[in-house]
Amino acid sequence: MSSERRKIRTQSPPLPQPLFPHPRPLCSHAYLRIQRALSEGKRVSFADTTGRDLVDVKEFTAFDSDEEDGGKWEEEQAKYRLSQGEPVFHVQPEFSVRSGGDLLQAVRKNKVEVENISVVEDEPLAVSGVIRVLNISFNKAVYVRCTMDSWSSYYDHPADYVQGSHDGDTDQFCFKLCFASPYTTHGSRMEFVVRYETSEGDYWANNSNMNYVLTLLLSYEDKSSETHTELRDVRSILKPPKTHRYKSRVSVFSIFSALHQISTELKVK
């Protein structure tokens, strides 16, 4: 009986095995390599999570706010202020004068004619001219009547006799005209005619009834190239921040390769 009892034993059914084995603690070299790689990567944190301000405002001034530095600031501004340049005036005649045989023929016909017109050196607003007249009497006078407001007003300027200009039939007189304020802007016009007074009567020269016209041209010296060269050397005290791009030392490929090696080791075990 005892022997039978020994033979008969109740056996409990085996416990169900899990479909997948329990994960083993990762203590392999691959796991340690992944942990080391992850610890070396760059971590990002935001200012608001640490209690700091998201915006940092800084104000920059060229100089201190003391009044004594005001003059220094104006000097610095004057160095790089765009300059318009010095004004340059040029008087341009809007007519042509006769010369040679044409001039003598016109003098014999009209008794008076403008022979020459030219700008005055070192006087950019002035012109000088020469008038040739027919010698028909001993007593004579020449006047230049000019206007700068389209004959709303005019002035008679006496011309001076040119000593030694008598050639038997003609004489010469010289004159000088000048633009004056407020007629010194670009495009200002001066018109003039010549009146020749003699004991036999008065004679006029008026450029075939079109008057003699002078136009004032105004320009400025170009200093923009020099100014731009100076401005290129000026650097702002506010420089844009440099952008740095950091490359993570942990790549996706290295993580997947490490995971693959771990799974391979687990299958072998």
Distance from the Cα of residue 43 to its chain's centroid: 47
pLDDT at 221: 75
The answer to the question of residue 62 being in a domain is no
- Model's pTM, two decimal places? 0.54
What is the token pair recorded at 176?
Answer: 């000088």
Neighbour-count burial for 232-253, b at 16+ CB within 10 Å, e otherwise = eeeeeeeeeeeeeeeeeeeeee
159 - beta bridge partners?
A: none
The answer to the question of residue 256 being in a domain is no
Domain encompassing residue 131:
87-220
The answer to the question of residue 7 being in a domain is no
What is the token pair recorded at 38?
Answer: 């992850």
Q: What are the φ/ψ torsions at residue 194 (nearest 5 degrees)?
A: -120, 135
Strands 170-178 and 189-198: unpaired
Counting beta carbons within 10 angstroms of the beta carbon of residue 42, is it exposed (0 to 12), middle (13 to 18) or buried (19 or more)?
Answer: exposed
What is the token pair recorded at 187?
Answer: 């495009």
The answer to the question of residue 199 being in a domain is yes
The answer to the question of residue 44 being in a domain is no
pLDDT at 86: 83
Helix-strand-coil percent breakdown of the chain, rounded to 5?
Answer: 25, 30, 45
What is the token pair recorded at 92?
Answer: 């341009």
The answer to the question of residue 183 being in a domain is yes
Give the separation between CA 200 and CA 133, rounded to whole angstroms. 14
The answer to the question of residue 100 being in a domain is yes
Give the separation between CA 116 and CA 98, rounded to whole angstroms. 8
Give yes or no for a contact between 41 and 250, defined as CB atoms under 8 angstroms apart: yes
**One-letter identity of residue 135:** N
What is the token pair recorded at 269?
Answer: 């075990």
Per-residue pLDDT of the chain (269 residues; tens, 9 = 90+): 455 555 555 555 666 665 555 555 555 666 677 767 666 655 666 666 676 776 667 776 655 555 556 666 677 666 655 556 788 999 999 999 999 999 999 999 999 999 999 999 889 999 999 999 999 998 999 999 999 999 999 999 999 999 999 988 999 999 999 999 999 999 999 999 999 999 999 999 999 999 999 999 998 876 655 555 555 555 444 455 555 444 444 454 555 566 666 666 655 55
Looking at the 3D structure of the chain, how many domains does it have? 1
Place of tokens 């993570």: 248
The answer to the question of residue 263 being in a domain is no
**One-letter identity of residue 32:** L
CATH number reported for the structural domain that contains residue 207 in this entry: 2.60.40.2440
